Structure 1
Amino acid sequence: MASISLRNVVKRYGHGPKANPVIHGVNAEIADGEFIVIVGPSGCGKSTLLRMVAGLEEISGGEIAIGARVVNQLEPAERDIAMVFQNYALYPHMSVFDNMAYGLKIAKVPVAEIKQRVDKAAGILELGHLLQRKPRELSGGQRQRVAMGRAIVRQPQVFLFDEPLSNLDAKLRSQTRLEIQKLHRELGITSLFVTHDQVEAMTLAQRMIVMNAGVMEQFGTPEEMYHRPASTFVASFIGSPSMNLLKHAPGTREGVITGIRPEHLDVRAEGWAVTVETTELLGAERLIYGRLGAEGLIVRVEENAAVPAPGSVIHVSPRADRIHHFDAATGKRV
């Protein structure tokens, strides 16, 4: 196992004045054994950053170190990493056992050790009864576990996951997240996991890197992202539904955006007057969509709360200790 250091990492496509920068000086220190999630919308640079750690993309500037070694000039095979892709990339003509063992056979690992490693990984991933099956005989979740097993048997210093759950349905995604958490607890291998799904990020990460247009907006724990977002981008991206961001909240001075999460607004007899547009039942809770003046506002209440009619006016009060302020010009936290 090993730590990972990202030191002013830059990626540009092309050269000279026409070069297109896509990663703008990312700095992060990742401890040995940490599980880090890189999250952001499509095109933000998260997969490019992961591929630079893997050696699949050339670094335009800065340094990447795995353990004590700077790996900028090392080939992927020399970096002691294992990668799990969105596409399972299994050999269709090989059994599960042979798919998991293939890399070890190429590396000329002794047959007895190959069997021991594959059997151990299969036990962790509950694949022991499937070892003689072909990929076509497996479900999507089982194929993804085989892909993870293939990475485990390598016994790498670092695991890299590039949106590995994107091809699974919602139930399987949730189940596989639990399996990945269990896997990390058992193996303790330093892991970088890329996703565009903020719920996936919040549930898996020990710490998160939030990317926006090639810039690292914030690096911290899920709790820090949720309770102290560094910018309006993080505030709107983390949390479902996202934080209310109001340019003209009552009592706010000019040039400041007020942020308040839907669950931190309480329906009261007095307070901000909100015109109700619609409501949405989400099982144990209900969302009220309305307008505060010209701005949209979402309020989260318990499912057994009174349901206001569209067009009616309710009054809400923000909890004073849950209000956030951001600079309207920069979007940064005040």
Structure 2
Amino acid sequence: MASIQLKNIVKKYGKGKHELQVIHGVNADIADREFIVIVGPSGCGKSTLLRMVAGLEEISGGEIWIGDRVVNKLEPAERDIAMVFQNYALYPHMSVFDNMAYGLKIKKMPIEEIKQRVDKAAGILELGHLLDRKPRQLSGGQRQRVAMGRAIVRQPQVFLFDEPLSNLDAKLRAQTRLEIQKLHRELGITSLFVTHDQVEAMTLAQRMIVMNAGVMEQFGTPEEVYHRPATTFVASFIGSPPMNLLMNAPGARPRSVMGVRPEHLDIGTEGWSLQVETTELLGAERLIYGRLGTEQVIVRSEENQAVPEPGSIIRVKPREDRVHWFDAATRKRM
């Protein structure tokens, strides 16, 4: 096992007037055995950052430490990591056993030790009854478990996951999230997990790095990121539905943005006058979309509350202790 340190990590492509910087001075200290999720929209640099840790992308500036070694110049095979990809990358002509054992055979490990490692990983991932099957005979979720098993048998210091759940349907994603959590509890291997899905990030992470346009916007626990977002970007990206960000709400401070989450707006007889546009039923709760002047506001209401008609006016009041303030110029938390 090992800690990971990212020290002022920079990534640039091209040179001179064609130079493009895509990662801007990322710093993070990741403790041994931590499960860290890197989350952000497409093109934010999260996979590039992971690939630099893996050694698949060169580093333009800064240092990456894994344990007590600077790994900038080390080949991927020398970094003692194992990576799980979105597309599984299984050999179709090999059995599950041979797919999991392939890397160990290349290292010329004794066959008995290979069998012990594969059997142990198969037991953890509930693949023991599938070891003789070919990938085409497996479901998407089972293939992903084989890919994770191939990483486990290497017994690395660090696991790297590059959007491993993206090809699974919603039910399998939820099931595989639970399996990854169980895997981390049992093995305790330091892990970096990249995703664009904020639900995956919130449910899996011990701490999370929120990326935007190559910049680390916030690094903290899911609770910190959700309840005390560092910027308006984090406030709008983390949470479904996103935080309401209002410039012109009654009581707003000058040169500031008011933030309030939909569940922290109470429907009653006083407060803002909100013109209802539409509503959405989401099982045990309902979302109400409305207009406050020119700005859209989303309110989360309980299933048993009266359903307002589109075009009607309702009164909503923000809970004072749950209001967030951001600087209108810097977009940072005040």
TM-score range, shorter chain: over 0.9
* Residue 97 (structure 1) aligns with: 97
Q: How does 1:58-77 map to 2 (within 5 A)?
A: 58-77=58-77
The CA deviation at 1:254 is 2.1
Q: How does 1:125-136 map to 2 (within 5 A)?
A: 125-136=125-136
* Residue 309 (structure 1) aligns with: 309
* Residue 248 (structure 1) aligns with: 248
Code of the aligned partner of 2:164:
P
Q: How does 1:268-287 map to 2 (within 5 A)?
A: 268-287=268-287
Q: Does 2:146 match 1:146?
A: yes
**Structure 1 regions of 5+ residues with no counterpart?**
none
In the alignment, the residues of structure 2 paired with residue 122 and residue 182 of structure 1 have an alpha-carbon distance, to the nearest angstrom, of 14
Deviation digits for residues 41-86 of structure 1 (CA, Å, limit 9, x no counterpart): 0000000000000000000000000000000000000000000000
Deviation digits for residues 12-52 of structure 1 (CA, Å, limit 9, x no counterpart): 00123421100000000000000000000000000000000
In the alignment, the residues of structure 2 paired with residue 189 and residue 14 of structure 1 have an alpha-carbon distance, to the nearest angstrom, of 36
Code of the aligned partner of 1:297:
V
* Residue 206 (structure 1) aligns with: 206
Deviation digits for residues 197-216 of structure 1 (CA, Å, limit 9, x no counterpart): 00000000000000000000
Stretch of structure 1 that moved more, 13-22 or 34-43: 13-22
* Residue 161 (structure 2) aligns with: 161
Aligned-partner SS, 1:217: strand
* Residue 193 (structure 1) aligns with: 193
Q: How does 1:1-334 map to 2 (within 5 A)?
A: 1-334=1-334
In the alignment, the residues of structure 2 paired with residue 109 and residue 246 of structure 1 have an alpha-carbon distance, to the nearest angstrom, of 61
Code of the aligned partner of 2:35:
F
Deviation digits for residues 94-118 of structure 1 (CA, Å, limit 9, x no counterpart): 0000000000000111100000000
Aligned-partner SS, 2:104: helix
RMSD over equivalenced CA pairs, Å = 0.5
In the alignment, the residues of structure 1 paired with residue 266 and residue 238 of structure 2 have an alpha-carbon distance, to the nearest angstrom, of 21
Query: What percentage of aligned pairs have identical amino acids?
Result: 84
In the alignment, the residues of structure 2 paired with residue 131 and residue 245 of structure 1 have an alpha-carbon distance, to the nearest angstrom, of 52
Could you list the runs of 4 or more consecutive aligned residues of structure 1 that deviate by over 6 angstroms after TM superposition? Answer: none
Aligned-partner SS, 1:42: coil
In the alignment, the residues of structure 2 paired with residue 73 and residue 201 of structure 1 have an alpha-carbon distance, to the nearest angstrom, of 30
In the alignment, the residues of structure 2 paired with residue 144 and residue 71 of structure 1 have an alpha-carbon distance, to the nearest angstrom, of 28
Code of the aligned partner of 2:108:
K
Name the TM-score, length of structure 2 as normaliser. 0.99
Aligned-partner SS, 1:104: helix
In the alignment, the residues of structure 1 paired with residue 279 and residue 16 of structure 2 have an alpha-carbon distance, to the nearest angstrom, of 53
In the alignment, the residues of structure 1 paired with residue 180 and residue 119 of structure 2 have an alpha-carbon distance, to the nearest angstrom, of 18
The CA deviation at 1:330 is 1.0
In the alignment, the residues of structure 2 paired with residue 65 and residue 14 of structure 1 have an alpha-carbon distance, to the nearest angstrom, of 25
In the alignment, the residues of structure 2 paired with residue 313 and residue 198 of structure 1 have an alpha-carbon distance, to the nearest angstrom, of 32
Paired residues in the alignment total: 334
The CA deviation at 1:251 is 1.1
